[in-house]
Amino acid sequence: MVEPVRESRTDAAPAHVTTVAMTGGTGFIGKSLIHRFLRENIRVRALVRPASISSCFNAPGLSWIHGELNHEESLRQLLDGASAVIYCAGSVRGASMSDFVPANVSGVAKIVHMMRNSVDSPRFLLISSLAARSPELSHYAASKRQGEEVLRSAADGLDWTIIRPPAVYGPGDREMLSLLQWLRRGIAIVPAGGRGRFSLIFIDDLAEAVLSWLVGGAGSGGCFELHDGKAGGYCWEEVCEIASELYRRPVRRVDVPRIALDAVAHVNLALSRLAGYLPMLTPGKVRELCHEDWVCDHSDFSRVTRWAPEVGLREGLLRTLG
């Protein structure tokens, strides 16, 4: 189902932006990007894995290519005639490095290789993660950094850009939904004392940032961080204050000790290996949660694209939860 048409915040796409090829189009970020492009009459061709076909949706201007990231014929169909390629695929769950490499590293290498042999020379955008800034923390963070390095080393002659968003939230997100719902109930679940600061970005602002890159043609060879405009990021006290004001109720802070998080993460990791599922909470994820500096600065990206975020946390919570 296509989202209702809303007023555009970006000038219409120039004539040379006709078709965008995408990976990860069935995910939270990917779907939002597709809807945003379609509202600008930009055609989208998206790769979908057999396991994700049930998440596909139909819309005028959107076509799906069935295949995997390592399937050359599928990638050839995906790239054919594309003006730009947006790599949005990614693995966020896993017990070992091997769980993250196919989507976060090998897939990037494969599609860059295919692009170098393409006569169309499309622009390439890798949507990475702020976690790539600290690859020592987890397998996920390390795989995101490796994906960036693969792009830098293999994309000689290509017009490429990397975007590192912080935590992304908004309608349709499942990863942060429980945390935000507890905030609305008046409880802030804070990991390991919550001494650090962190940036956030609302999904609509991220989509606008990608559209600005797409239609503006700027940012070649750059790696850019994004956030919602809150300089210096947030601390948990500020989050509680915003939620308390918004929902007109006290927000009680519940600190989860680091030792408890580590214990649960190790148990979850062991169970995942026995039961064969991909875990989210692992010792590496705990190190990410307890890291004290996830603050971004989007000034470089705004300077080259003229993009500016519009949705702060208060408005974002309203749009996400009501």
pLDDT tens readout for residues 85-112: 999 999 999 999 999 999 999 999 999 9
Q: How many CA atoms lie within 13 A of 7 on its CB side?
A: 1
User: Which amino acid is located at 277 in the chain?
Assistant: Y
Q: Cα dist. 175→93, 125, 224 in Å?
A: 11, 23, 23
Determine the Cα–Cα distance for residues 287 and 56; give it in Å rounded to an integer: 34
For residues 311 and 215, the answer to whether their CB atoms sit within 8 Å is no
CB-CB neighbours of 59 under 10 Å: 13
Query: Comparing C-alpha atoms, which of 140, 177, 176, 174 is closest to residue 55?
Result: 174
**Nearest by Cα to 269 from 256, 259, 260, 278:** 278
The residue among 175, 176, 151 whose CA lies nearest residue 163 is 151
Please tell me the distance from the alpha carbon of residue 272 to that of residue 111, in angstroms, as a whole number: 30
247-270 confidence digits (pLDDT tens): 999 999 999 999 999 999 999 999
* Inter-axis angle of helices 236-247 and 177-185, nearest 10: 60
Helices (H), 217-275: 236-247, 258-275
Q: Please, which pLDDT band fits residue 245 given cuts at 50, 70 and 90?
A: very high
Print burial letters for 249-285: b (CB count within 10 Å at least 16), e (below 16).
Answer: eebeeeeeeeeebeeebeebbeebeeeeeebebbebb
- pLDDT tens profile 184-232: 999 999 998 888 999 999 999 999 999 999 999 999 999 999 999 999 9
Mean pLDDT value across residues 138-144: 98
Give the tens place of pLDDT for each residue, 65-82.
Answer: 999 999 999 999 999 999
Per-residue pLDDT tens over the stretch 15-24: 466 899 999 9
Residue 14 scores a pLDDT above 50: no
Q: Are 131 and 97 in contact (CB under 8 A)?
A: no
What pLDDT is attached to residue 18?
Answer: 85
Nearest partner of 126 among 48, 210, 202, judged by Cα: 210
Distance CA 258, CA 320 (A): 29
Instruction: List alpha helices for 186-311, DSSP H.
Output: 203-216, 236-247, 258-275, 283-290, 299-305
Residue pair 189/182 in contact (Cβ under 8 Å)? The answer is yes
Q: Domains plus CATH for the chain?
A: 19-165+203-227+296-310 (3.40.50.720)
The Cα 152–Cα 135 span in angstroms is: 16
3-state secondary structure of 119: coil
**Rounded Cα distance, 40 and 132, in Å:** 31
Contact 144, 183 (CB under 8 A): no
